[in-house]
Chain A
Amino acid sequence: MGFRTAGEAMGRRATACALALALCACVDKSDLPRPVVQADAAAGLAVIKEVGCAACHRIPGVAWPEGRSGSNLAGFGARPLIAGRLPNQPDTLIRWLIDAPSMDPGTAMPPMPLTQDQARDVAAYLYTLDED
């Protein structure tokens, strides 16, 4: 091993930093709650009951019904994917709630009669479901 130039050293440091940052990002992301800005999870639960999401999904917080056509949403907030296909991120979820077929034509989930705000509230509630 000979001398290193300053440029080389800096390059390495930058790479190390980038790597560390990327690692941090990886580690942090799995633990991060997915915030839905200015949404009201409690209102989301009320919307869920009003619209009848539980006709297809088991949803913690809704005692009846317990539909089986869609996935069980217990632990949804900790899952990486929506419907096994799409990244489980707030914007994607909100779009999915309003118009799932536009993102996955094969899905059985129809477009739901939700406003953008209602969908945000529902998403906020779903992200509180972090325990299976």
Chain B
Amino acid sequence: MKTDAPPGIAGWPPPVLDPAGPFAGPIQTVAWVLFIMAAVVMVVVAVALGIALFGPRKWKRRVGGERLIWIAGLVFPVVVLTGLLVYGLTTTARVADAPKPGEMRVRVTGEMWWWRVAYLDGQGREVVQDANEVHIPAGQPVVFELESADVIHSFWVPRLGGKTDMIPGRRNFMRLQADAPGTYGGQCAEYCGGPHALMGLVVVAHAPDDYAAWLARQSRPAAVVPSAQGPLALIEQGRNVFAASGCAACHTIRGTEANGLAGPDLTHVGSRQTLGAGILPNNQGTMAGWISDSQSLKPGNRMPSYAVLSGQDVRAVAAYLESLK
């Protein structure tokens, strides 16, 4: 059995019973209440069954008869299940209200098999596009507007909140809040086709000032940052290979002629923590592996493996993309 978690990713695998914000706490309470109620009912039923099978005659008589069926078989479940339904719905309703003026809004669109991310202004217009990573300020609620571009996905960042389905043609709202800065792993929680299990994401919570700085950086068009590992000549070569190989048919890099919309925005891809939608650490090595043969890493994903590129060309494109900080 394959048990290795995606390597090198902070916050992965996300613990599901370790809430880190005020919208995850009540969900955890709901989970425990349901679990405990179910456990109690199961024990009572098992004991009654044991008595009915092996108990003394006097006890057997007490668990028989029509009256017990009416009470324990009909009235009890109706009352308890109705109560739990109301409790569950009121808990989640508070999380799922439409955005109020002044609340921060992020639109996340589920795609097969990645996440399109857009930061919205007060009027709901998209200000900055990104992918597979959501940055939020810590200590305040953020409204997520959840949509789908194709099939049903489910947005789930266990430490920050419950699951909310992304349904084609609908916009579902969900509030998340991280009490402290940190990295929180997420995962698509509704089977959406082949690589569903490899559709992860990362939520990064910043101190408010750091968040403002991050957003300002993210709003700018692409800027190449050369390094010892990615010298300018190699970056130039990578940029040319990127243009010549048709990558721009699917990917946007703001500030260049690349303006494809089918795949993730790559304007600042070098600053992301992960590749392939939350599944690989992000460095030139994993980038080269992804470009060269993404089908071996995430079989069925919509990016073809680029077996037409030479080793040096693959490396150059990886250096170019990693330089986009």
Q: A101-B315, A106-B310 are in contact. Are A62 and B289 (CB under 8 A)?
A: no
Interface status of B174 (Cβ within 8 A of chain A): no
Q: Mark A41-60, 1 if CB is under 8 A from B, else 0.
A: 00000000111111110000
**Interface residues of B, dominant DSSP:** helix
Chain B min CB distance to A10 (Å): 54
Closest residue on chain B to residue A113 by CB atoms: B283
Closest 3 CB pairs of A and B: A108-B311, A55-B289, A110-B284
Q: A66-B296, A111-B229 are in contact. Are A55 and B285 (CB under 8 A)?
A: yes
| B residues in contact (CB < 8 Å) with A | 2-4, 6-8, 228-229, 279-281, 283-290, 292-293, 296-297, 310-312, 314-315, 318-319
Chain A min CB distance to B275 (Å): 8
| A residues in contact (CB < 8 Å) with B | 49-56, 62-70, 101, 105-113
A24 and B312 alpha carbons, distance in the complex (Å): 40
Q: How many A-B residue pairs have CB under 8 A?
A: 99
The answer to whether A53 touches B311 (Cβ under 8 A) is no
Chain B min CB distance to A37 (Å): 26
A69 and B297 alpha carbons, distance in the complex (Å): 10
Chain B min CB distance to A82 (Å): 14
Chain B min CB distance to A64 (Å): 5
Closest residue on chain B to residue A47 by CB atoms: B8
The answer to whether B288 touches A56 (Cβ under 8 A) is yes
The answer to whether B311 touches A54 (Cβ under 8 A) is no
A101 and B285 alpha carbons, distance in the complex (Å): 12
The answer to whether B312 touches A69 (Cβ under 8 A) is no
The answer to whether B7 touches A49 (Cβ under 8 A) is yes
The answer to whether B229 touches A113 (Cβ under 8 A) is yes
The answer to whether B284 touches A111 (Cβ under 8 A) is yes
The answer to whether B289 touches A49 (Cβ under 8 A) is no
Identify which of A53, A56, A62 contacts B292 (C-beta below 8 A): A56
17 more A-B residue pairs beyond the given contacts A49-B8, A51-B286, A56-B288, with a C-beta to C-beta distance below 8 A: A51-B7, A53-B285, A54-B7, A55-B289, A56-B285, A56-B293, A64-B2, A64-B4, A67-B297, A69-B314, A107-B312, A108-B310, A108-B314, A110-B229, A110-B288, A112-B285, A113-B284
Q: A54-B7, A109-B288 are in contact. Are A67 and B293 (CB under 8 A)?
A: yes
A119 and B281 alpha carbons, distance in the complex (Å): 17
Which residues on the B side are within 8 Å of A63 (C-beta)?
2-4
Q: List 25 A-B contacts (CB under 8 A).
A: A49-B4, A50-B8, A51-B7, A51-B281, A51-B285, A51-B286, A52-B7, A52-B8, A52-B280, A52-B281, A55-B285, A55-B286, A55-B290, A56-B293, A62-B7, A63-B3, A64-B2, A67-B289, A108-B310, A108-B315, A109-B311, A110-B283, A110-B285, A112-B283, A113-B284
A113 and B319 alpha carbons, distance in the complex (Å): 13
Most chain B CB atoms below 10 A, which of A66, A69, A107, A112: A69
Closest residue on chain A to residue B297 by CB atoms: A65
Which residues on the A side are within 8 Å of B311 (C-beta)?
106-109
Chain B min CB distance to A3 (Å): 64
A112 and B289 alpha carbons, distance in the complex (Å): 12
Which residues on the B side are within 8 Å of A113 (C-beta)?
229, 283-285
Most chain B CB atoms below 10 A, which of A50, A51, A70, A111: A111
Which residues on the B side are within 8 Å of A53 (C-beta)?
285
Which residues on the A side are within 8 Å of B4 (C-beta)?
49, 62-64
The answer to whether B285 touches A65 (Cβ under 8 A) is no
Chain A min CB distance to B95 (Å): 33
A63 and B3 alpha carbons, distance in the complex (Å): 7
Closest residue on chain B to residue A112 by CB atoms: B285
A55 and B284 alpha carbons, distance in the complex (Å): 11
Closest residue on chain B to residue A61 by CB atoms: B4
The answer to whether B312 touches A68 (Cβ under 8 A) is no
